[in-house]
A and B are shown apart, each in its own frame.
Chain A
Amino acid sequence: MGNEIKITLDGQEISVDSGKTILECACDNGIFIPTLCHYAKTTNVGACRVCVVEVENARSLVASCCMPVSPNMVVRTNTPAVRAAQKMIIELLWASGDHNCLTCEQNGQCELQNLIYWLKLDQPRFEIKTPGYEMEENNTMISRDLNKCILCGRCVRACNEIQVNEVLDFANRSSDAKVGPAFDEDYIHSSCVFCGECAQVCPTGAITLKQAKFAGRPWELHKVKTTCTYCGVGCQMDLFTKDNKIVKVMGNREYGQPNEGSLCVKGRFGMDFVAHPDRLKKPLIRYKKDDDFKEATWDEAFKFIADKLSKIKKENGADSIAGLASARCTNEENYLFQKFMRAAIGTNNVDHCARL
């Protein structure tokens, strides 16, 4: 980072770090500048130009996401020229795709929709021409509707700079430009590993999570912060639920470490097991070795176990009983489990599958 310098932002003189961009300084000082292509921790590309501002003595409007501050810079974020440029850009983006919010899964959390509202636009001044791409629906995890793509490139940067999976890039030029895997393949036929980062960063409904479709509107979902249940990284994630069902999973960016908002395919798409019909729902007891399991109440199960364990302990000693704690369960449960084995049973025969 650089030195402390003074700039004037919307009439206010403020001290800022010389290593920062205009956008970052505005953000730090509570001034809203709209963005679409900008995404923290990826390269600032200045592709969408929605973040333009006026800088005194500059030749034209500048993209605030790419422009570093300099001493005594005078910046205005809300002039008529700025707003006119922003409207033009948003209307062009609007007219270039099939942005039909009625059927769009992102309705209510679409950044393009939000900006149209913020700029108080009723309709684009240009004729709407959708590119007519076919929907990509041939896998069970991610849907792609390139008719809603605004070519901001966030997915490309997320894939290459955040996840470094190096699957997505731009292809073709001008109005034929599109994003996707090499050789215009579908995700399922490409080297995509379905981390879902592209869907997480997409500002519109172009890349969405397939299972979440028709499962609940954004404002109906309940968000619960938790820790992923798979590997030892401990990614922080948000489970979105509706009617007691997990609808989708997003990486949690608030906590930073360890995953800074990223997930892998297991965390993102591996939650179907929770609501799977195979889940056990009642205690089962096999009263004699060759019998079938019979459903039981919890009280019957606790009594059956307690009687048997007490008898075995009495006849063969506590060390004839062993327990496997679990690398899958919580700290609280592992603590109680070993306490139970040691204090209630009286043996140190407790281990788990750390070794496997």
Chain B
Amino acid sequence: MAGLAATFGSGAMTNSIDEIEFTDLILATGTNTTENHPVIGMKVKRAVKKGTKLIVIDPREIDLVKYADIWLRQNPGTDVAVINGLLNVIIAEGLYAKEYVKDRTEGFDALKKVVEKYTPAYVEKISGVPAEDLKKAARMYAKAVRASILYAMGITQHISGTDNVKSMANLSMLCGNVGIEGGGVNPLRGQNNVQGACDMGGLPNVYPAYQQVANEDVRKKFEAAWNAQLSPKPGLTIMEMMDAAGRGTIKAIYIMGENPMLSDPDLQHVKKELQKLDLMIVQDLFMTETAQLADVVLPVASFAEKDGTFSNTERRVQRIRKAVNAPGEAKADWEVICGISNKMGYAMNYASAKEIFEEVVKVTPSYAGISYERLEKGGIQWPCPTPEHQGTKFLHKDKFSRGLGLFSAIEYIAPNEMPDKQYPFLLSTGRVLYHYHTGTMTTRSEGLSERCPESLVEINPADAEKMKISEGQRVKVTSRRGTVEAKASITKKSAPGSIFMNFHFADTSVNLLTNPALDPIGKIPEYKVCAVKVEAA
């Protein structure tokens, strides 16, 4: 998100889901769309059937590869090199949108200079993508009238994550694809309300609607609205909090519905840090791995047991409605927050989620025109500044949020930990179709567990043969940080030398293995690349 905010002035999916089906070209990279966003994957496939071109850039032979006109299989973590290679060809062959670049962007000369050395031959050496394929893809992308870029965590979960995102923005702007229907740079967000959690200021540096905590005027506005004195100092990110807990400068952590004990990298380290806390409060549906370490565990209502709103990946604010009663004494998360706050002497009294939303729209300019009454007729995409406004299908029409779109001149850097003699395999982690995040909900669903009961180590047939590992055999995967065991699944989805594992199952915590090296700006861990060894268990 930081990457898009820097280039366009706003970090969100620029266009809408329904536009995917009616565009001329889709470039999908770092997104296993059919498994992680199946309904968007369905629209990509429908588009291809109607004649839309599809370029897939992905180290894994994902389902979408079957539908692709061109598949570039890069070495994991070499995305910047590949995109710079595309930019190089498009500029060298004069295929870019010259008027658009002149009128709507800045920084083109610096970009041109940096990408000069990323010739197809040079990029082939770094990424393994054949020079001819790269050229073909560059020409196909540049010649499309409207082209949409889709990406997900395969782009962001690298130490170069922010650079990767900026590279996507470079490519899209170079061909005049930002600010048009059917175009854009579209991050597909992995969780139901990750967009909303960001919009609402669940971030250390911003209040709702990305208003900076360090800005004095903004802060005064919120001090007045909330009747409280507010800190001007931006706070810590999740990974920094864990470190600070380890150092003893963070004494208490209040966790609402998150499970860092399964989702964070290098789990042994996380556990040690969390155990040092004086107070850990967890509210959740289940006794998660994280809740087990807590001092207080609070039972809360699930999405089906309360009212509220979620904001989806295309900025669409939509209602959830109570369908059943919560079990036992479980309360909605908002009721719990109010209970604690009132006990601490800061009054929070709301009769319903709707009343909270009415306060939200007063301090969140991009949501100002949205109301529960309007949402009865269907979701509304922000920005929606007034009650008459219809919502915004795509962003940056005629003008970027920051004025001119900013090209970023970016050099390729190698991943933090590459395979070597001792740890010869490259491990990438991610999700599978049948499960979700840390599996607390999906592993408790009969059908999903029937289709996918356990974690698997996806390994290329050539590697399996070399190591004499057969389908379904248990294997041990070891990194510098830990070891896990799981069954082998032999598939050419994984490139030779690479393995893939999911992070859904607590008994095969793949995050015991992963590398906590962070992207310096986005602070996202490098889940997509670490070095491991694989042996029969």
| Choice from A245, A259, A347 contacting B231 with Cβ under 8 Å | A347
**Contact present for B312 and A351 (CB under 8 Å):** no
Would A141 and B450 be within 8 Å (CB), given that A245-B324, A348-B233 are in contact?
yes
A355 interface residue (CB < 8 Å to B): yes
A211-268 contacts to B, CB under 8 A, are 211, 222, 224-236, 239, 241, 244-246, 255-259, 262-266
Q: With A306-B343, A324-B253 known to touch, is A331 a contact of B308 (CB < 8 Å)?
A: yes
Q: Which of B269-289 contact A (CB under 8 A)?
A: 278-279, 281, 284-287
- Given contacts A301-B296, A329-B333, are A308 and B344 in contact (CB under 8 A)? no
Chain B residue contacts of A342, Cβ below 8 A: 207, 213, 222, 226, 228, 230-231
Is A179 located at the chain interface by the 8 A CB criterion? Answer: no
Whether A14 is near chain B, meaning CB under 8 Å from some CB there, is no
Do residues A308 and B323 form an inter-chain contact, with CB atoms below 8 A?
Answer: no
The interface on chain A, measured as residues whose beta carbon lies within 8 A of the other chain's beta carbons, has a size of 110
A343 vs B341: C-alpha distance when bound (angstroms) = 10
Contact flags (1/0) for B177-206 with A, using CB distance below 8 Å?
A: 000000000001111111111111111110
On chain A, the residues within 8 Å of B344 by CB distance are 306, 309-310, 344
Closest residue of B by beta carbon distance from A339: B226
A277 to chain B, nearest CB (A): 9
CA separation between A26 and B222, bound complex, in Å? 56
Q: A231-B37, A326-B257, A342-B230 are in contact. Are A280 and B285 (CB under 8 A)?
A: yes
A355 near B348 with CB under 8 A, answer no
Is A352 in the interface zone, CB < 8 Å from B? yes
Q: B94-102, B414-422, B441-449, B459-467: which one contacts chain A?
A: B441-449
Q: Which of B188, B296, B304, B320 contacts A283 (CB 8 A)?
A: B296
**From residue A294, how far is it (CB to closest CB) to chain B in Å?**
11
Closest to A243 in B: B324
Asked if B278 and A280 sit within 8 Å, CB to CB, the answer is no
Docked CA distance A289–B200 (Å): 34
Provide the residues of chain B in CB contact with A348, threshold 8 Å: 204-205, 213, 231, 233-235
Most chain A Cβ neighbours within 10 Å, of B188, B208, B304, B433: B304
CB-CB under 8 A from A304, the residues of chain B are: 296
List the B residue with the shortest CB-CB distance to A223. Answer: B323
Q: Do B40 and A233 touch across chains, with their CB atoms under 8 A apart?
A: yes
Nearest-neighbour CB distance to chain A for B430, whole angstroms, equals 12
B264 close to chain A: CB less than 8 A: yes
Choose from B207, B287, B435 the contact partner of A280 (Cβ within 8 Å).
Answer: B287
Residue among A272, A273, A274, A356 facing the most chain B CB atoms (10 A cut-off): A356
Contact of A232 among B37, B260, B298 (CB under 8 A): B37
Q: In this complex, which of A280, A283, A310 has the most chain B Cβ atoms within 10 angstroms of its Cβ?
A: A280
Which residues between 15 and 51 of chain B lie within 8 Å of chain A, taking CB atoms? 16-18, 36-40, 42, 45-46, 49
> Closest residue to A297 on the B side, CB-wise?
B329
- Answer yes or no: A139 CB below 8 A from chain B CBs: yes
Q: Contact: B318 with A234, CB < 8 Å?
A: yes
Q: In the assembly, what is the distance between CA of A318 and CA of B450, in Å?
A: 47
Tell me whether B197 and A278 are in contact (CB under 8 A).
no
Shortest distance from the beta carbon of B84 to any chain A beta carbon, whole Å: 24
B473 on the interface (CB 8 Å rule)? no
| Given contacts A281-B330, A355-B522, A193 and B200 within 8 Å (CB-CB) | no
Query: Is B252 interfacial (CB-CB < 8 Å)?
Result: yes
CB <8 Å contact, B287 and A325: no
Known: A262-B39, A354-B198. 8 other contacts (CB 8 A): A231-B36, A283-B329, A285-B295, A332-B309, A332-B360, A337-B333, A349-B204, A352-B238
